[in-house]
Chains A and B, each alone.
Chain A
Amino acid sequence: MPSRRRTLLKVIILGDSGVGKTSLMNQYVNKKFSNQYKATIGADFLTKEVQFEDRLFTLQIWDTAGQERFQSLGVAFYRGADCCVLCYDVNVMKSFDNLNNWREEFLIQASPSDPENFPFVVLGNKIDVDGGNSRVVSEKKARAWCASKGNIPYFETSAKDGVNVEEAFQCIARNALKSGEEEEM
């Protein structure tokens, strides 16, 4: 048996429907992007192996459906998550306003042992749209919200162009790993 110990990290992606959760995941895992919108039914699951500081670990990414009607999936999906990624569309104010609901919903359902320090990452997606002209949520505003929630790391991404996607997931993996190790002790 190889003694190389691998860690598996469960990552949940949440956010309003249409903000680009599946696209972000596809860009990260498959380096692909499609302009066509296909609503996720329930949840999709992808895995990606990542090397980080000489250690190999596997991201088990839970891409959930944003529609209200799927919110009943609740506890089952959130249980045992190592990191939660909150996504919004920088061109849709409502999707940003809802971040707070998503975060609270997650904390209620997953009930992590240390909710104050549970690792979240926020992604503002679709910065490529219309050359940034249709943007309604400023970076400043987003960062302010993240700061108020315990300094949540924030990334502005384009799933279409692959901007910041790799970086964002690196951060997600790092935070998930950190929290996992603290709890295991």
Chain B
Amino acid sequence: MPSNSDSSSSSSSSTSSGEYQTPKRNSTSIDQSLDAIENQLASISMFQPDSLLESEPEPEPVPELEVSKEELVNGSVNVIEELPAKNEEGESLKASSSRVWTNASEEVEEMEAPPSPSSSGYDGGRGSSATSGIEDANDDDNDGEIVEVRSHGDSVGASDSQAPWTPGKRHGDEDDASISWRKRKKHFFILSHSGKPIYSRYGDEHKLAGFSATLQAIISFVENGGDRVKLVKAGKHQVVFLVKGPIYLVCISCTEEPYESLKCQLELLYGQMILILTKSVNRCFEKNPKFDMTPLLGGTDVVFSSLIHSFSWNPATFLHAYTCLPLAYPTRQAAGAILQDVADSGVLFAILMCRHKVISLVGAQKAALHPDDMLLLSNFVVSSESFRTSESFSPICLPRYNPMAFLYAYVHYFDLDTYLILLTTSSDAFYHLKDCRIRIENVLLKSNVLAEVQKSLLDGGMHVEDLSIESGSRSGSVSPHSSQSGLATESAERLRDTFSGVGGPAGLWHFIYRSIYLDQYVTSEFSSPINSLRQQKRLYRAYQKVYTSMHEKGIGPHKTQFRRDENYVLLCWVTQDFELYAAFDPLADKALAIKVCNRVCQWVKDVENEIFLLGASPFSWRLLSL
């Protein structure tokens, strides 16, 4: 095993190492707005009946975040109140977006300098500064698109952020001389250590050969000095480098995501490549540095672009955990039992999934299936159209299981959303796995699992509106969510009135709960006001940022964090057993928010049978079948 390529993630003292800092908002107006917010909070808290704060019954099975005169008292408390600095400009969103428009149009003019058609744009007169062309980009929320290129006609960048994501490479005609290319908010590149392009998120790899060479030159130049480049900051842009033996990965982003998140995304991108090819490609480079990998990856563009897309919606990409489709306990047990049955017949892993959610999962060595591998595997399956049309048998590699060896995956879709993956080490197990699949399919149909799955897709999982603030009335089930509304108490209703019927109690908008032992997480369904994809993505980014800050090396890990900015109140709580990230209305009251978080944890505990895959071996079904 080539060990040198493995150690590339180890840190070294380099020019600038992961120095992400929470961006400070305009500080001049902080005091004023702080007062304003405090006033608003004071007026809101008048609506809180005191009993709500103090009538919490003491014995609770889950740990509690304690409230004492609106102050957190336990553990290391980290309260960050980021202020809505733009508050005085009225609606901050509109203000900032219009500013973007002005910037953008200025920029277009600046960049009208004649680009030489086939050159990399960094020759002669331009000097060889690699970053000069990507100094600035617009700040629209949708990094897949650009808004300001009106000159290119309406077709470019005109697509609504609400439009569903279309798979495959977009803007393949662009290169680094294109203004539109330079304005993309988030680029990903994979290249070889000789500077040959392997993958680019946008644009044509071959046309980007010059740019790719520039990236290699930068990496190699620093390497030559016995150092390693990890991060370059250029204005709003971060250029993140990851060297994996002969494979170089680079992300250029102005999305303000933390360095750690971007690096982690590059790691996943590398993992996706390993999943397709195994790490033995390194040997090809050892034998022949000229080696061109692109033919080996032919047709897999869509797998990478789908993974990159998931960096902006799938929490699994930063939580390193997987999520389950909510199902009644017996239903999941029935599925697990038949999977266990085939696993005993020599199948390494049997995974039943619906979209990106797990229905059940069984393995000869279950513990060894890393959540990242599951993410990469399901991304590979879901993004490759050919799996949908027929049963397939494909070599794949699980990078966390064994990066050097191929496994063989039998993939079959039962319906549009639900698919089965059977993994084996044997390359001639197709017919055996096909038999296994038929057995599984029969059981799933007989036990009505597939119908239940479809029903769960429709109903969704946990809805914040269903969370009762009263500790007495427990939300006992995940769905249907309407059934819980009758339990709402008077005070809860009053609270809802305060927040004009939006979201859950105390202005709870959304939450993510991650169980540490189970390697699983659950999120609430998106509901008003987090309706649009744009809002969802913004919240996702906020979670990602706060997750990073909770896990920061050196000063962390934190236990709790209360962060208020112009978009949300984010409350994070990390214990030995779980992590909770909850988003509230930016005007939410701190004490109430804490209280609600306790309720959420209790709620999750109450329904854990339905939302998580619990480890116990399902013997019941097998006894029945005997």
Chain A contact residues, CB within 8 Å of chain B: 1, 3, 5-8, 10, 22, 26, 29-30, 34, 38, 40-49, 58, 60, 62-63, 72-77, 79-82, 110, 113, 180, 183-184
List 8 A-B residue pairs with CB atoms under 8 Å apart, sorted by A's residue number.
Answer: A3-B298, A8-B209, A29-B118, A46-B210, A48-B118, A75-B224, A82-B290, A184-B291
Q: Is B33 among interface residues, defined by CB-CB distance under 8 A?
A: no
Q: Nearest Cβ distance between residue A179 and chain B, in whole angstroms?
A: 8
With contact pairs A44-B124, A60-B209 given, residues A30 and B217 touching in the complex (Cβ less than 8 Å): no
With contact pairs A44-B123, A45-B214, A79-B194 given, residues A72 and B224 touching in the complex (Cβ less than 8 Å): yes
- Other A-B pairs, 5, CB within 8 Å; known A46-B120, A73-B217, A75-B220: A8-B197, A45-B210, A47-B209, A58-B209, A110-B289
B195, A80: Cβ atoms under 8 Å?
Answer: yes
Residues of B within 8 A of A113 (CB): 287-288
With contact pairs A6-B206, A76-B224 given, residues A62 and B290 touching in the complex (Cβ less than 8 Å): no
B128, A10: Cβ atoms under 8 Å?
Answer: no
Count B-side interface residues using an 8 Å CB cutoff.
44
Q: Is B116 among interface residues, defined by CB-CB distance under 8 A?
A: yes
Residues of B within 8 A of A38 (CB): 124-125
Closest to B210 in A: A45
Docked Cα-Cα span, A16 to B219, in Å, equals 25
With contact pairs A47-B118, A60-B195 given, residues A183 and B290 touching in the complex (Cβ less than 8 Å): yes
Q: Is B294 among interface residues, defined by CB-CB distance under 8 A?
A: yes
Docked Cα-Cα span, A73 to B218, in Å, equals 10
- Number of residue pairs across A and B with beta carbons under 8 Å? 127
Q: Nearest Cβ distance between residue B403 and chain A, in whole angstroms?
A: 23
Q: Is B196 among interface residues, defined by CB-CB distance under 8 A?
A: yes
Among B194, B287, B298, the most chain A Cβ lie within 10 Å of the Cβ of: B194
Docked Cα-Cα span, A30 to B124, in Å, equals 12
Q: Nearest Cβ distance between residue B211 and chain A, in whole angstroms?
A: 8
Docked Cα-Cα span, A89 to B7, in Å, equals 46
With contact pairs A1-B299, A60-B195, A183-B290 given, residues A45 and B206 touching in the complex (Cβ less than 8 Å): no
- Chain B 105-137 interface 0/1 with A at a Cβ cutoff of 8 Å (1 = within): 000000000001111101111011000000000
Q: Is B164 among interface residues, defined by CB-CB distance under 8 A?
A: no
Q: Nearest Cβ distance between residue B170 and chain A, in whole angstroms?
A: 15
A80, B124: Cβ atoms under 8 Å?
Answer: no
Docked Cα-Cα span, A34 to B123, in Å, equals 13
B49-108 CB contacts (< 8 Å) to partner A = none
- A-B pairs, 4 with minimum CB distance: A80-B194, A76-B220, A45-B210, A80-B289
Residues of B within 8 A of A26 (CB): 123-124
- Chain B 296-307 interface 0/1 with A at a Cβ cutoff of 8 Å (1 = within): 001101000000
CB < 8 Å neighbour of B119 from A29, A180, A183: A29
Closest to A62 in B: B213
Q: Nearest Cβ distance between residue A21 and chain B, in whole angstroms?
A: 12
B290, A81: Cβ atoms under 8 Å?
Answer: yes
B223, A46: Cβ atoms under 8 Å?
Answer: no
Residues of A within 8 A of B301 (CB): 1
- Chain B 215-230 interface 0/1 with A at a Cβ cutoff of 8 Å (1 = within): 0110111011000000
Q: Nearest Cβ distance between residue B285 and chain A, in whole angstroms?
A: 8
Q: Is B278 among interface residues, defined by CB-CB distance under 8 A?
A: no
Closest to B207 in A: A47
A40, B288: Cβ atoms under 8 Å?
Answer: no
Among A1, A77, A80, the most chain B Cβ lie within 10 Å of the Cβ of: A80
B290, A80: Cβ atoms under 8 Å?
Answer: yes
Q: Nearest Cβ distance between residue A109 and chain B, in whole angstroms?
A: 11
Residues of A within 8 A of B193 (CB): 79-80
Q: Is B192 among interface residues, defined by CB-CB distance under 8 A?
A: yes
Docked Cα-Cα span, A43 to B289, in Å, equals 20
Docked Cα-Cα span, A113 to B287, in Å, equals 8
Docked Cα-Cα span, A75 to B225, in Å, equals 12
Q: Is B292 among interface residues, defined by CB-CB distance under 8 A?
A: yes
Interface class of chain A by DSSP: mixed
B128, A42: Cβ atoms under 8 Å?
Answer: yes
Residues of B within 8 A of A81 (CB): 194, 290
A30, B119: Cβ atoms under 8 Å?
Answer: yes
Q: Nearest Cβ distance between residue B422 and chain A, in whole angstroms?
A: 27
A80, B209: Cβ atoms under 8 Å?
Answer: no
Residues of A within 8 A of B292 (CB): 7-8, 180, 184
Closest to B217 in A: A43
Among B128, B209, B287, B288, the most chain A Cβ lie within 10 Å of the Cβ of: B209
Q: Is B153 among interface residues, defined by CB-CB distance under 8 A?
A: no
A44, B209: Cβ atoms under 8 Å?
Answer: no
Residues of B within 8 A of A48 (CB): 118
Docked Cα-Cα span, A22 to B123, in Å, equals 9
Residues of A within 8 A of B294 (CB): 6, 8
Q: Nearest Cβ distance between residue B552 and chain A, in whole angstroms?
A: 33
B206, A44: Cβ atoms under 8 Å?
Answer: no
With contact pairs A45-B209, A49-B118, A60-B195 given, residues A183 and B288 touching in the complex (Cβ less than 8 Å): yes
B221, A46: Cβ atoms under 8 Å?
Answer: no
Closest to B192 in A: A80
B291, A76: Cβ atoms under 8 Å?
Answer: no
Residues of A within 8 A of B216 (CB): 76
CB < 8 Å neighbour of A74 from B117, B127, B207, B224: B224
Closest to A38 in B: B124
A80, B196: Cβ atoms under 8 Å?
Answer: yes
Closest to B198 in A: A8
A5, B295: Cβ atoms under 8 Å?
Answer: yes
Q: Nearest Cβ distance between residue A59 and chain B, in whole angstroms?
A: 8
Docked Cα-Cα span, A38 to B127, in Å, equals 10
CB < 8 Å neighbour of A40 from B128, B195, B207, B209: B128
B123, A46: Cβ atoms under 8 Å?
Answer: yes
A41, B120: Cβ atoms under 8 Å?
Answer: no
Among B119, B120, B214, B290, the most chain A Cβ lie within 10 Å of the Cβ of: B290
B120, A47: Cβ atoms under 8 Å?
Answer: yes
Docked Cα-Cα span, A1 to B125, in Å, equals 37
With contact pairs A29-B118, A45-B209, A47-B210 given, residues A77 and B220 touching in the complex (Cβ less than 8 Å): yes
Docked Cα-Cα span, A180 to B288, in Å, equals 10
Docked Cα-Cα span, A58 to B209, in Å, equals 8
B298, A1: Cβ atoms under 8 Å?
Answer: yes
A60, B221: Cβ atoms under 8 Å?
Answer: no
Q: Nearest Cβ distance between residue B277 and chain A, in whole angstroms?
A: 16
Residues of A within 8 A of B117 (CB): 30
Q: Nearest Cβ distance between residue A106 and chain B, in whole angstroms?
A: 13
Residues of A within 8 A of B212 (CB): 60
Q: Nearest Cβ distance between residue A76 and chain B, in whole angstroms?
A: 3
With contact pairs A49-B118, A49-B206, A76-B223 given, residues A44 and B128 touching in the complex (Cβ less than 8 Å): yes
